[in-house]
Structure 1
């Protein structure tokens, strides 16, 4: 599995939305504070190389969720706001493939390589990455362009955001995707 612009890799930006700025709402702690800036750097690289870009937007069916379409938190963060003509796919579950036409669009464009960035590592990023791997895509997940929040365990213990992030990536690596860095992506997409 190799990453090169000759493979016409698609960039999948998952749920980089304003609602995730409310760290207390999501658990009180977050890792990778530069994840959005790294994702934006990769997005700019894709735009410069005229490579395919897919913005995934979580549209929660819960009216009280910060990610519900009626709430300002549903909006994409300015740093990765879609340009005119870039594809936006709305979802309401953890996978960008469920209840959407993402797979159809990728197949129709004969895309076989995916680079995944976004929020959150252990939820929508992980679920989408697992499905991408199962569908047979050559999938790269960018560790420093993804982030998550701390979680409470079943016995009430607090698991740090960094631990949740690292274990989610460890579960994906070499099974569903190659875990890479922003620098790796930049070196391979020139």
Structure 2
């Protein structure tokens, strides 16, 4: 079984002073870096997913500093970078073909906006037949609101990880994954 690390949207706009700041993006990106270092050391495939927004959207503007992948997980020369325009990293990209070309059967997912892009990418990966592991503490999200009700980021994170673990993925911490 071959595995790959997928780092989803760890981009500057999600960090302090970014256009769409998340809660605790630094610790999540530092954990993603630990996983990235592990996969590089083991010479396993790494995929960096970078979201670029269409014209008129105020974040991930092509050519801006905000769209750039954060320094904590900067791609190394030769690592695959996929640009996407939807929450699902597989939609209208060559991610599926790339993973298949490498013989990947298991994906380890990290990244930004647990409730949106990590969720969508994990569900799609599972639907394409991959065994999925999401590293919960290498992901970040934000406070949400629905019909005047406020939902704290910690609750959003817990709810989405719990939903993914119910059927789609194994959920682990960085330490659990690296010491297994």
TM-score (norm 2): 0.94
Task: Give yes or no for contact 2:13–2:20 (8 Å, CA) kept in 1.
Answer: no
Deviating 4+ runs (over 6 angstroms): none
Aligned to 2:9: 15
Aligned to 1:39: 32
Give the Cα–Cα distance (whole angstroms) in 2 for the partners of residues 152 and 60 of structure 1. Answer: 22
1:48 equivalent in alignment to 2:41? yes
Structure 1: gaps (5+ residues): 1-6
Aligned to 1:108: 101
Report the secondary structure of 1:171's partner residue: helix
From the two aligned structures, give the one with the greater strand fraction. Answer: 2
1:171 equivalent in alignment to 2:163? yes
Task: Give yes or no for contact 1:23–1:30 (8 Å, CA) kept in 2.
Answer: no
Compared with structure 1, are the counterparts of its residues 32 and 61 closer, same or farther at alpha carbon in structure 2 (3 Å cutoff)?
A: closer
1:180 equivalent in alignment to 2:172? yes
Give the Cα–Cα distance (whole angstroms) in 1 for the partners of residues 39 and 110 of structure 2. Answer: 13
- CA offset digits 1:81-140 (Å, max 9, x no partner): 000000000000000000001001111111000000000100000000011111110000
